[in-house]
Structure 1
Amino acid sequence: MYKIMIVTHGNMAASLKETLKMFTNDLEGIHTVGLNESGVENFRERLKKEVEICYEEGKGLLVLADLFGGTPFNTCVLEIKNKYENVEIITGVNLPILIESSLQRDSNLKDIVKDLQQSAKESIVLTECLGSSEDED
């Protein structure tokens, strides 16, 4: 079973994890680290400590980051992706991808990352594309 780490600017990671409780009570193996006013170096140290706590060789670690190219993402690439095996990093974290990834933690991480990416894309829907109930009559 792979672990999940949510990394974001501010409190978004913790808020996403808290919101996940509405969909599943199984939050074991889901970790959060947020970049706050204490700065990048403090974030880096907290990230390293959290990875040491949650990483299990052979199990896999899925990192869900908020922004491609942002400090949380860049720090994860430098501190996790290049130092640990079986780590995948996906940016653009949102609630649908968090729910799906948490419910599929028994799956092989390498096998599902493309599905998670596609699922995240499909979770963005323009309401004007849905039509109205009048159209269906």
Structure 2
Amino acid sequence: MKLIVSAHGMLAKEVVNSAGMVFGAIDDLDIVTFVPGENAETLKARYKELIDGYKEDEEILFLVDLFGGSPYNAAFETVIGQDRMDVITGLSLPMLIDVVGIRTMEEDIKAGEVYDKLSGDYVKSCKKLLGNTNEDEMEDDEL
């Protein structure tokens, strides 16, 4: 499965660079940045150029930053009617690491199956995980 990582500014490039510190070089991944002066049409053309270089039956998963943003809108228009493609929003380092891990463990996974395999648990609160740590609010027997 090919991954296309796209986001506003240089976020996609830097998330991929950071993921590379964990995995080393990540194969079958392309980065599409979105900078001022560009629009959804620019992105669609860049997506199409990448896809035209892939095998016709290659599964393709877009990871983009914001639902409704230009990288998402262009990806959405690209995948409509394509069973071998999907788009997942909310790009972050934990998400990319999770997706690369899933793809590594399940080589035959379809793009449309990845979302269901994601933990979706990327936002955590230390205090909520550990419980209340404010001593003033704790009962004497909890101290």
The equivalent of 2:99 in structure 1 is 101
1:64 and 2:66 matched? no
TM-score of the two chains, using structure 1 as the length reference: 0.82
Distance (whole Å) between structure 1 residues aligned to residue 67 and residue 74 of structure 2: 11
Is this contact kept in 1: 2:4–2:32, CA < 8 A? yes
Unaligned runs of 5+ in 2: none
User: Contact between 1:57 and 1:85, CA under 8 Å: does it hold in 2?
Assistant: no
Identity value in percent = 25
1:46 counterpart residue number: 46
- Report how far residue 107 of structure 1 moved: 4.2
Over the aligned positions, Cα root-mean-square deviation in angstroms equals 2.2
Could you list the structure 1 runs, at least 4 aligned residues long, displaced by more than 4 angstroms after superposition. 134-137
The answer for the alignment partner of 1:16 in structure 2 is: 15
Aligned to 1:33, what secondary structure does the other structure show?
strand
Give the number of the structure whose alpha-carbon radius of gyration is greater: 2
Cα separation, 2, equivalents of 1:44 and 1:129: 41
> Given the superposition, is the C-alpha separation of residues 102 and 130 from structure 1 closer, same or farther in structure 2, using an over 3 Å criterion?
same
Q: Deviations over 1:41-97 (max 9, x none)?
A: 4333222212223x333331111111111111001111x212533111111111111
CA contact (8 A) 2:102 2:117 kept: no
Residue number in structure 1 paired with 2:79: 81
1:113 and 1:130 mapped to 2: Cα distance?
24
CA distance in structure 2 between the partners assigned to 1:26 and 1:107 by the alignment: 20
Which AA in structure 1 matches 2:48?
A: K
**Partners of 1:3 and 1:128 in 2: CA distance:** 38
Please list every run of 5 or more consecutive structure 1 residues that lacks an aligned counterpart in the other structure: none
Residues matched between the structures, number:
130
